[in-house]
Every structure is written in structure tokens, then in C-alpha cells.
Structure 1
Amino acid sequence: MVVAIYGKAVETEYLPSLGELFNQLVEHNVEVWVYRPFMEYLLETFSAKLPDFEVFNTGSDINGKANILISIGGDGTFLDSVSFVRSSGLPIMGINFGRLGFLANIAIPDMHNAIDLLIAGRFKVEHRSMLEVVSTLEQFNTFPFGLNDFTMQKASSGFLKVNAYVNGEYLCAYWADGLIVSTPTGSTAYSLSVGGPIVSPNLSALILSAIAPHNLTVRPLVISDDNILLLEAVGRDGSVMLSLDSRSITCKSPVTVTVKKAPFFANVVSMEGSNFYHTLRGKLLWGMDKRN
């Protein structure tokens, strides 16, 4: 098995656990490739000698070579790894060296068991739908795809007006601090924090959630992901902030973009015995009595 490891930086307290991960992979005779900037960071911070791993610079370096990419960090790092592997279909497994971890849902105490299951082939690959943003904005055109969400927000004080169209039919004007279009995977991210619904990731849906709407009757809307959205945003101060997963830009308004389902999926590794509902219970503490 060939495993690629992608990461940025981890808290110092987690470095011993990262060393244990490396040792476990070596003991199982796994061929390991490490993202070069991450490897350089580890060489500067690790007190122990690291194994002599191969390094890679781009996703194309590991296409056709690696069987799995392991993302080391939190959900932000996981999202970066999605844009790193692009449309190659390389499955991504997230080990949570960060905080909440809906995407990077393997906790450090479960890491060794997860690696054993991975090597034994006792895992499944979930196909997660993604968004494609079509615009004239150069900053997004290098990789105009996102796993979680696309957001239009006010860039400063004031509010934003977003005219929304579904398949060319006028939906409404959102007067709000912003508008989020999320995938089912992204329904547990920013959309959830503004009152959006939690949507099972195997559903074919897009979720529209307004951020602090000025009309209190505005509610989140779930539509089929075979619809195409046209969004026209005008910022009161003449600017709009746009974000696609962890990438964001501020540009002059008005801004017009098209949002639709991407032509490919992100492949996410799920270990045996784990599923979306298990993650919900664990991360949101559903059914747990914390009063005492």
C-alpha cells in the first residue's frame, strides 16, 4: 500500500502522536509519501529522527501512485487536501489533529485502530458531491470547486442584496449579511451555525441559508442539486466577499456567479463501524446528559 500524507502544522502536544502514526505505517511496510512543505516543517520541529520518506509537491506527483491520502489536521486541512487532489478521485482519510472534526473524524485515540482497518481493507469510500462556481473571477478559476460551501458576504458594515435565480426562474432577493450555498457535506459547517438543516451526505441536494436576514420570514431552502443557481450580489459599500471552502476574496460589486453541482465527487474514507450518524452523536453530543 502507498499512503500520501498531507498537512500543514500541528500543535506541539500532538507531535508524539504523529510520530506514532509514522512508526505504525513503517511497521506495516507501507510506502509513505509526505507533502514537501509539511515534511520540511516536521524536520524543523521533530526532536526524533524521522523515517526517510519520499516527498511530493503537487497532487499530480502522487496520482496513480498513492492508494490513500491521509489529511493531518482539522476540517480546514481536509478541505485543502480536497483542492489538492482535485478531480483525481484519490480517497481522503482525515485524522483529527485539529478541533471539532466532522470531515477529519478519526480522533487521535482511534488512530491506531483506523490504520489497522485501513491496511486490512476494512473501510469504505463515500462519494461526496461538490460545488462548481462559474464566474469571471480569476482567483477561483484555477480550481472553482468546493466540498463544503460557497458564500457571498458583506465585506464591511451595511448589508448585502443577493438576487437568486433557480434554473432561470426568480427565487427572491436576500437582504442579509450574506448567503451560503452548501452541499450536504457542508450542512454541518457554516450553514449549520446560521440555522441551516443537517442533511445526510448521501442526498442530492443544495442548501441555501441566509446569514442574519433582514426579513425574519426567510428560512433555509433545500433544493435538488440538479438545479443551477444564478446569484447576483450587490454590497452596500460597493464590495462583496466571496468564499469557496477555505479560499476567499473581496471584490467590487455587483458580482454575478453561477453555482451548480460539480462534475466529479470527493472520495472520503469511512472506517468500518463508523458512519455519519455516529459522527453526529459524537460531535454534537446528541442523547448525552451533561447536566451533572
Structure 2
Amino acid sequence: MSSGPQVRAVGLVLHPAKPVGGSVEAVLAASHRHPVRVLAREGDRQRLPAEVETVPDARFAASVDGLIALGGDGTMLGAMRLTVERPVPVLGVNHGNLGFLVEVIPGELPSALARLAAGDFTIERHACLEAGAGRVELATRFGFNDVVLAREGRSGGVSVDLWVNDVRYGYYRADAVVVATPTGSTAYNYAAGGPILSPSSDALVVTPVAPMAGISRTVVLGAEDRIALTVATDSAPVAVDVDGTASGTLEPGDRVAIALRRRAAEVVRFSASEHSSRSRIKLSLLDLPLRPDQLLELIPPELRQKAADQALGRAEGTAAGDAGR
């Protein structure tokens, strides 16, 4: 277990629309027991109790010793991007849907905060992609899931050359090209037929979406490899998305360089094995092939025992009813 540095100020990162007031109140209640300042960004002022301090966005990340992301994976990714230049622990609370990154559900938050205060947690480090363009300024430079080059309209295709360590590797002509981290390998990359990478691997993947010509399979590259994608003259206009957020538009001749940045974020984990099991269940719902007996193994033991006890109770009740006839 690791307690890490003393937390004097914790920052709240809120989903832009979902109601998260109950979780905010839980954080404030915990801050009374363990004196900690609770901060948020000025843009969220209207959604927060007066007790929560707000600071300008530009100062927010530098003012906190940890972050609590209240939302889904998108909110968690946004919180992680805030910490790239100065990684601090980030705890995710799932107010979303699947939630591969977030571990805690709102009902578990009070006990999670108590464990956090006691130092009863571990840190899971995540790498991110750092993207930079030549004469084009990207709105978002850091992606913990992926950087996607996709055609802007419905006609034509993305046509880009792949360079690895300044050597032309080949070209893609496809609906899109996805560059993903191990974390993001379960997202768009997976939907496009790319492989799932172990979270512990220092690697990135480049996967074409609906390839028409050129490289048609995923390319797996090492952490030290420097890659670049250059838009060809026959390409349709290319939109760049970073972690699902529109980040810029490229024209023929434009070039995007992408590198893996290690240890760019620290995610709080209370039970790495339980989180891994939950993620496997979620992946099974996305067609990861698991047999029924393997799915049963993923159900927490206490839930399996509860279901077995309930089934036994129903069976005994039926037997008693039959004996009374």
C-alpha cells in the first residue's frame, strides 16, 4: 500500500451535465473529518455548494494534491489530462455507463474516501500519447486513449503516410487511422479490430478503420518509437480527435508527430484484481469471447454465494410446498 504525499487540497472534476451533487456532498463530509480543502474550477461554480472553493482554470491543476473525477471515462480522461505536467493521484467515481477507467461507484465513495485518507490504496500509472503538428495548432495535445485521424465528410478517405523513427513505413487509405495506448486499446482500436494490449506493456498500436489500400493490419510499436502521419495529396480533409475531442483539421502536406509519454498520470486503485475482473466483464459484453463458466468466474465470490443461497432457498421452499400437497 502507498499513502503518497500528504493531501492538503483535492480538486473536483465534474461531468458537464450529469447530476453529481450526492458525491460532492460525500467529499465535503469527508473533508470535515480529515481537514482538506476542496477546490473546483470557476466554470463549475453554479453547480457547487458555496463551501467548495473555486480557482481559475489555469491555476487549478497546480493548486491540488489530488483529483476526484465525478462522471464516466470521459471525465476521468479529462482529469488525467490536467495532470500530465504534474501527475497527482486521480480517483474516478462512475456516474457514467461502462466505465473502464473508473473503479468506484457513488455508493462506495464514503468508504473509498476513508481508505484514501488512511493511505489504503495503490497507484496505477498510465502513459499517454503526446501529439504535435507542424504548422497546425492542435487544441488537445495529450491523449490517454487515442489520437484518431478521420475523414471530415462522407466522401473520399483518409490517405496518410506512416513514418517510424524518420523512416517511411508505408501508407494507409481508410475511413480513419487510430493510434492508441494500452489503455485506449479497448476503445476505438478494439472496435476497429485492433488487439487489446496489456496495461503493463510499453507499446502503442496503429490501426486502420475500414482500410481500402495500403497497410490493412494493426502495427504494434515500442515506447521509444517516434511515429508521424503525413497527409497525402489525394486525401480528403482530415479531422483530428484526441480522446474523442475534436482537436484540429489537417490538409494535404500536414504532418502529425505522436510519441508515447510514460507515467503521465496516476490513477487510484483500491483493488486492482477486482477492477480487472470488472473490466473483463465489461469487455465480455463487447464480444470478448468467454464461455459461460468463465463468465461465472468473473462474478465476485460474495455475489455468487448470495445467488446460490437464494437459489437454495427457492428450492427448499418448492420442496416444502410439494411435500404439503
Q: TM-score range by the shorter chain?
A: 0.7 to 0.9
2:34 corresponds to 1:35 = no
For residue 179 of structure 1, report the CA deviation from its aligned partner.
0.7
1:149 aligns with 2:146: yes
Structure with the bigger percentage of helix:
2
Q: Which runs of 5+ in 1 are unaligned?
A: 43-49
Amino acid at match of 1:278: S
Identical-residue share of aligned pairs (%): 27
- Secondary structure of 2:107's counterpart equals helix
CA gap of 1:74–1:256, structure 2 versus 1, over 3 A, is same
Out of 157-166 and 201-210, give the one that drifted further. 157-166
Residue in 2 that maps onto 1:7: 14
Q: 1:260 maps to what in 2?
A: 259
In structure 2, the CA distance between the partners of 1:80 and 1:139, relative to structure 1 (3 Å rule), is: farther
**Alignment check: 8 A CA contact 1:200 1:276 kept:** no
Per-residue displacement from partner, 1:67-93 (whole Å, max 9, x unpaired)?
Answer: 211111111112222232331112211
Pair 1:99–1:176, CA change in 2 (3 A): same
With structure 1 as the length reference, what TM-score do the two structures score? 0.84
| Paired residue secondary structure (1:139) | coil
Q: Distance in 2 between matches of 1:32 and 1:164?
A: 45
Q: Is the partner of 1:83 in helix, strand or coil?
A: helix
Q: What CA distance in whole angstroms lies between the structure 1 residues aligned with 2:295 and 2:250? A: 44
What is the total number of aligned residue pairs between the two structures? 279
Code of the aligned partner of 1:37? G
Q: Name the structure 2 match of 1:284.
A: 283
The 8 Å contact of residues 76 and 92 in structure 2, kept in 1 or not, is answered as yes
1:100 is matched with which residue?
98
Q: Map residues 184-199 of structure 1 onto 2, 5 A cutoff.
A: 184-199=182-197
Task: Please give the alpha-carbon distance, in whole angstroms, between the structure 1 residues aligned to 2:236 and 2:219.
Answer: 27
1:227 aligns with 2:234: no
Query: What letter is aligned with 2:250?
Result: C
Q: 1:90 & 1:69 partners in 2: Cα distance?
A: 7
CA positional deviation for 1:274: 4.6
Residue 46 of structure 1 corresponds to none
For residues 135 and 257 of structure 1, what CA distance do their matches in structure 2 show? 4
* In 2, Cα distance between equivalents of 1:275 and 1:196: 25
2:72 aligned residue (71, 74, 87): 74
Partner of 2:180: 182
Deviations 1:33-53 (A, max 9, x none): 1222223233xxxxxxx3512
The structure-2 alpha-carbon separation of the partners of 1:163 and 1:275, relative to structure 1 and needing over 3 Å to count, comes to: farther
CA contact (8 A) 1:87 1:265 kept: yes
Aligned with 1:34: secondary structure?
Answer: strand
Cα deviation, residue 155, structure 1? 1.0
CA contact (8 A) 1:7 1:35 kept: no
Gapped runs of 5+ residues in structure 2?
1-6, 285-289, 297-325
What secondary structure sits across from 1:200 in the alignment? Answer: coil
Inter-CA distance 244–22: structure 2 relative to 1 (3 Å threshold): same
Separation (CA, whole Å) in 2 of partners of 1:53 and 1:220: 46
TM-score, with length taken from structure 2: 0.76
